[in-house]
Amino acid sequence: MEIELQAEIKDKRLNRMVALTVVALSIFMGLSQVKDGNIVQAMQQAQSNAVDFWNEYQAARTKLHVDEAALGQLRALAGLGGSGATKATQAEAERLEAEIAKYRRETPDLRKKAQDEQASYDALNVHDDQFDASDALIAIAISISAVAALTESFWALFAAWAFGAGGLVMGLAGFLGSNLHLGFLSRLLG
């Protein structure tokens, strides 16, 4: 009778520990999902902005090349005319020169904006990977916790805690903006 009572107490203690583990990890995972969702939205915005700036950059560079070619042709044609450039030809040359100067001023700024947005995306991606790793490790921990309860194994619960601790560390790294990164895990799962 005393042995059965001790077994029941041991059972309840293990089940309580499993339940507390699952609750704590589930709450942390839920909060992490909110933060990760916000990071993903910011990543999408940064990627969209980068694409827009690269498109503007390419369009400005194309216009620059077209205007440079047009100016060269205009000057060549003016030279063939003999007496020099007419007022209309000179006005068009000045307009093209102004456009060329404008595009030469704009393109470095557009390139920098596009590169900055890409850098922002890359920085956010590190934190997204941290939350992804956290989710994976915590999901494993919760699964092992369930097995620990079914098999009445403290060793399985300790293994769950190890995975859970890894998940908590990665999640906290994401919340705190740390550069901790499990590159091998990202490559494996990416």
Does pLDDT of 66 surpass 60?
yes
pLDDT 10s digits, 69-116: 998 888 888 776 655 558 778 888 889 999 999 999 999 999 999 999
The rounded distance, in Å, linking the Cα atoms of 166 and 189 is 16
pLDDT 10s digits, 19-49: 999 999 999 999 999 999 999 999 999 999 9
Q: What single string gives the DSSP state of each residue in 75-116? A: HHHHHHTSS---HHHHHHHHHHHHHHHHHHHHHHHHHHHHHH
pLDDT 10s digits, 148-168: 999 999 999 999 999 999 999
Does pLDDT of 10 surpass 70?
no
Q: Please name the helix (run of DSSP H) or strand (run of DSSP E) that holds residue 28, with its range, or none.
A: helix 2-80
Average per-residue pLDDT for the chain: 88
Confidence at 57, pLDDT banded by 50, 70, 90:
very high
**Which pTM was predicted?**
0.73
pLDDT 10s digits, 124-140: 998 999 999 999 999 99
Q: Do 12 and 143 form a contact (C-beta atoms < 8 A)?
A: no
Give the range of the structural domain holding residue 179, as residue numbers without chain letter.
Answer: 2-189
Q: How many domains does the chain have?
A: 1
